[in-house]
Chain A
């Protein structure tokens, strides 16, 4: 077993977690044997649809949940038997959480959390000020938390995770609810933090593919409790290259539309357009297949195509190719 000082940031072997089903008395498997190795200094992304097992994975690694099988280590420490050692070295931000007490100011709240990690006040106060500047809350530093907007509060939560200067940072949908500029600034800070502080590691789950693409050195795609692919984003893209990535804006597609009838492609639905009443249909057209065949297949099912566009392979394409559906997509429109 590697010593704590040289150990990878995260190492899991055949990690399993089952829950008792609320009805029927059976068991639901959230993690079905996950093997992941994250080196120190990496920004590692975890992508998966809702219910894929991402949050369960993070909860186990942050000692909030026992695994029901397998093993997980963080910086060399077992998350079950050496949980206290793990906790000293980690930070967690969950998107949409509302930490702190409304009666405290932003500055006081960050100081309070630093105390829970044993950071002396002479270090905690200046660090709180530094983090407040980084997340752009200088004007709100002395405002009570219950007077902050949702976005401001989310930025404060983000800053909170850094007060203990963790070795491994778990970011679970960290930019959820933030405006575009704030999210971009925080992503830049995470990248800089990992680059400038040797050995710091980030495990990120996100629904924003662009965020994962911009930040992550490697990405694992997880679905139904299993890691389906794990590699750098360029390597993942290469796995699904060949053919064209096509997006069609269609109208008139009802629940009876049978995607399986579309010639040789595996298509998924994007979100509906609220104003135009259309919906996006995404697919990769393999080499040798003709787009016209797909369009004819749609026409035969009385679907009107408003626009057609093609583009380069993105992480979302990789995700769709591997998982078989998009992050935002669940079923046909009704």
Chain B
């Protein structure tokens, strides 16, 4: 197969896998509640708390952005991390392994579909935060925000690809691990407060989960100095881009290792094992 044909095949497969997610977001409205409305409720609590305490208005915007982005972390955990394990239980993983499709195309489709579907759902958080609660932000560079958002999502979903392989190895523990990771990452990423508040530990935490740096950079684009950023936006964006590349490579290696293990042991693609 020529390189061009291989790339077209990759795109077709990724599109087909992403299609499932995008279609799903329209066909199952109940997912909107669990993935967008519920995280937005937490966001409302922080906005009202900051308002009651008389904190600067920028803190309210900071909490709204955190609330919106928390939906992406939920999607990474439950829509990426546990996905391959779920596919295995459904008997689907075996069909991927027996087809000539690039395994990374499947993960890319899952990630792109997840980002698009969650972006659509995050409209609920935007409406609630900026519409119902009346939180305001000064004029900002929309193009720069889009770039930072995309780079952050690339790094975050690359981490999700790694988790999907790792969780497959964990087997039934995947659900517990996902549960265990949900809340701590909200804290580690400074979703509802400036990451800089944590001092030196902030950099260590930002190096573990890309969400923290992404949130920090996007806040700075929206709020400028009032965001109390950790480092300048170009620096954070460059670090995120680097993380995305490294995490993608690790994800690819892990998936290849996993498939190899599956063929050696004869169990991973098998249901109920």
Which B residues are CB-close (under 8 A) to A205? Answer: none
Chain A binding surface, main DSSP class? mixed
Interface pair A99/B91, CB less than 8 Å apart: yes
Mark each residue of chain B from 3 to 18: 1 if its CB lies under 8 Å from any CB of chain A, else 0.
Answer: 0010011001101110
Interface pair B27/A63, CB less than 8 Å apart: no
Identify which of residues 95-148 in chain B touch chain A, using a CB-to-CB cut-off of 8 Å. 95-101, 106
Q: How far is the CB of A52 from chain B (nearest CB, A)?
A: 16
Binds B, one of A110-118, A221-229, A254-262, A297-305: A110-118
For B, the interface residue count at a CB cutoff of 8 angstroms equals 32
Q: Does A94 contact B (CB under 8 A)?
A: yes
In the bound complex, what is the Cα–Cα distance between A65 and B19 (angstroms)?
30
Q: Does B176 contact A (CB under 8 A)?
A: no
In the bound complex, what is the Cα–Cα distance between A87 and B9 (angstroms)?
14
**Complex partner residue of A65 from B1, B23, B266, CB under 8 angstroms:** B266
Which A residues are CB-close (under 8 A) to B264? Answer: 66
Q: Known interface pairs A103-B23, A103-B24, A115-B13. Does A98 touch B100 (Cβ–Cβ under 8 Å)? A: no
The 3 tightest CB contacts between A and B, nearest first, are A115-B16, A118-B9, A116-B101
Interface pair B27/A103, CB less than 8 Å apart: yes
In the bound complex, what is the Cα–Cα distance between A47 and B244 (angstroms)?
50
Identify which of residues 221-247 in chain A touch chain B, using a CB-to-CB cut-off of 8 Å. none
Interface pair A64/B16, CB less than 8 Å apart: no
**Complex partner residue of A112 from B19, B24, B28, B263, CB under 8 angstroms:** B19
Interface pair A88/B100, CB less than 8 Å apart: yes
Q: Does B90 contact A (CB under 8 A)?
A: yes
Q: Does A187 contact B (CB under 8 A)?
A: no
Interface pair B263/A66, CB less than 8 Å apart: yes
Chain B binding surface, main DSSP class? helix
Q: How far is the CB of A197 from chain B (nearest CB, A)?
A: 20
In the bound complex, what is the Cα–Cα distance between A87 and B97 (angstroms)?
9
Which B residues are CB-close (under 8 A) to A103? Answer: 20, 23-24, 27-28
Closest to A101 in B: B20
Which A residues are CB-close (under 8 A) to B28? Answer: 103
Q: Does A251 contact B (CB under 8 A)?
A: no
Q: Does B205 contact A (CB under 8 A)?
A: no
Q: Does A84 contact B (CB under 8 A)?
A: yes
Q: Known interface pairs A103-B24, A103-B28, A118-B5. Does A108 touch B19 (Cβ–Cβ under 8 Å)? A: yes
**Complex partner residue of B100 from A19, A59, A94, A117, CB under 8 angstroms:** A117
Centre residue among B92, B94, B266 by max chain A CB count within 10 A: B266
Q: Does A144 contact B (CB under 8 A)?
A: yes
Q: Does A90 contact B (CB under 8 A)?
A: yes
Q: Does B269 contact A (CB under 8 A)?
A: yes
Q: Does A148 contact B (CB under 8 A)?
A: no
Closest to A96 in B: B91
Which A residues are CB-close (under 8 A) to B17? Answer: 112
